[in-house]
Amino acid sequence: MSAERVDWASYAPAVVGCAGLQLGAEERVLFGVRKPLGLILFARNIDNPAQVRALIGDFRGVVGNELAPVLIDQEGGRVARLKPPHWPKFPPGAVFGEIYARDRAAGSEAAYLNARWIGAELAALGIDVDCAPVADLPIEGAHDVIGDRAYGRDPATVTALAGETMRGLMDAGVLPVIKHVPGHGRSHIDSHLDLPVVDTDIPAMEQSDFVPFRNLNHAAWAMTAHIVYSAIDPRNPATLSPALIKDVIRGRIGFDGVLISDDLTMKALKGGPAETGTASLAAGCDLVLHCSGDLAQMQSLLAALPAMTARAAGRIAAARARLPANPAAFGAAERARYQALLGQGAA
Phi/psi of residue 288, nearest 5 degrees? -120, 155
CA dihedral 330, 333, 335, 336 (to 10 degrees): 180
* Residues facing 79 on adjacent strands: 76
Number of neighbouring beta carbons within 10 Å of residue 207: 10
Q: What angle do CA 177, 104, 101 make, to 5 degrees?
A: 90
**Which CA distances in Å does 19 have to 25, 273, 294, 298, 328?**
11, 17, 7, 11, 33
| Residue 176 β-bridge partners | 130
Q: Which of 103, 192, 194, 218 is catalytic?
A: 192
214 vs 166: CA distance, rounded Å: 14
Whether 194 is catalytic? no
Residue 24 phi, psi (nearest 5): -80, 165
> Residues 73, 209, 262, 263: which is the catalytic one?
262
Q: Is 184 a catalytic residue?
A: no
Q: Which amino acid is at 60?
A: R
Q: Contact, 75 vs 82, CB < 8 A?
A: no
Where in the sequence numbering do the catalytic residues fall? 192, 262
